[in-house]
Amino acid sequence: MIAQVQSWLERAQRVVALTGAGISTDSGIPDFRGPQGLWTKNPLAEKMSNIHYYLADAEVRKASWQNRLSSPAWHARPNPGHLALVELEKRRKLHALITQNIDELHQIAGNSPERVIEVHGTMRRFMCWGCGMRGPMQLVLERVRAGEADPQCRDCGGILKSDTISFGQQLVPEVIEQAMRAAGEADFFIAIGTSLQVYPVAGAVDLARSAGARIVIVNAQPTPFDEVADAVFNQPISEILPAILGSGARSLQ
Ligand SMILES: [Zn+2]
């Protein structure tokens, strides 16, 4: 099956990858929805990721800032799964990299920022809910470290948060359009580490299929699209992805 996928990839010119939390778990970033997820372990985590609780309750915000300070993502390094996607870009095959992740590990691994479409934003930037100002997250985290439990915008006094899409918050239409347009232009579409259960992002698979793209799914658990996919892999992402995409490790053949 790996050899088959590689031959499709050999002919492909516009590969679109869609990545979810599963690609970052091997970098030590837990999937908050999975069985070992943060939500299961800490009920407050669900409130912290909901925009309505966040805006309404200073205690939720204080807990959120402490949570951001101690996020494992600050020390996380890209894993071989991320590097395989860098390899794909070096081979000039990567048309777009749509990601549901907020950790920027794709850019840190070496993918060009202009190829990466972050449908859920990034935790490495803050935004002001009042005036929309944005900037590096570390600037605000320094204020938290210095003792501000719930720092406010220095321009307008508004509530600050990470520049990510919380639950209850609208996706950015321009970003979703960009992602869907790219998916519709794919000749090879690979979904990696995502359950494909959340629309509109899961709709990218439908668009790619309609465009005639080969569909490959790499995920530990089954997805609703497995039946229509051309190939499905359930092995660990950091092992299987280099074998499929990279010119390096082909040991799994
Ligand atoms: Zn502001």
Q: Which tokens hold the place of 117? A: 């479409």
Q: Ramachandran region of residue 134, left (φ > 0), alpha (ψ -120 to 50) or beta?
A: beta
Distance 155 CA to ligand 1 centre (A): 5
User: pLDDT tens digits for 207-220?
Assistant: 999 999 999 999 99
H or E segment to which residue 128 belongs? strand 121-128
Do 99 and 128 touch, CB atoms closer than 8 A?
A: no
Instruction: pLDDT band for 252, please (50, 70, 90 cuts).
Output: very low
Q: Which residues have CB less than 5 Å away from ligand 1 (the ion)? A: 128, 130-131, 133, 153, 155-156, 158
What is residue 242's predicted lDDT score, i.e. its pLDDT? 96
Tell me, yes or no, if 52 is annotated catalytic. no
Give tens-digit pLDDT for 228-248.
Answer: 999 999 999 999 999 999 764
pTM metric for this prediction: 0.93
Residue 37 reports pLDDT greater than 70: no
Helix (H) or strand (E) holding 203: helix 203-210
DSSP conformation letters of 102-121: SS-HHHHHT--GGGEEETTE
How many Å lie between the centroid of ligand 1 and the Cα of residue 13?
43
Sign for the pseudo-dihedral over CA of 110, 249, 80, 205 = positive
- Kindly state the average pLDDT of the residues 73-102: 97
The rounded Å distance from CA 134 to ligand 1 centre is 9
Q: Quote the mean pLDDT of the chain.
A: 93
Contact 93, 189 (CB under 8 A): no
Query: Among 27-36, 42-51, 172-181, 195-204, whose mean pLDDT is lowest?
Result: 27-36
Decide if 9 contacts 188 (C-beta within 8 A): yes
> In angstroms, rounded to a whole number, what is the distance separating the alpha carbons of residues 186 and 188?
5
121 CA distance to ligand 1 middle (Å): 18
Lowest mean pLDDT across 70-84, 174-188, 215-229, 234-248:
234-248
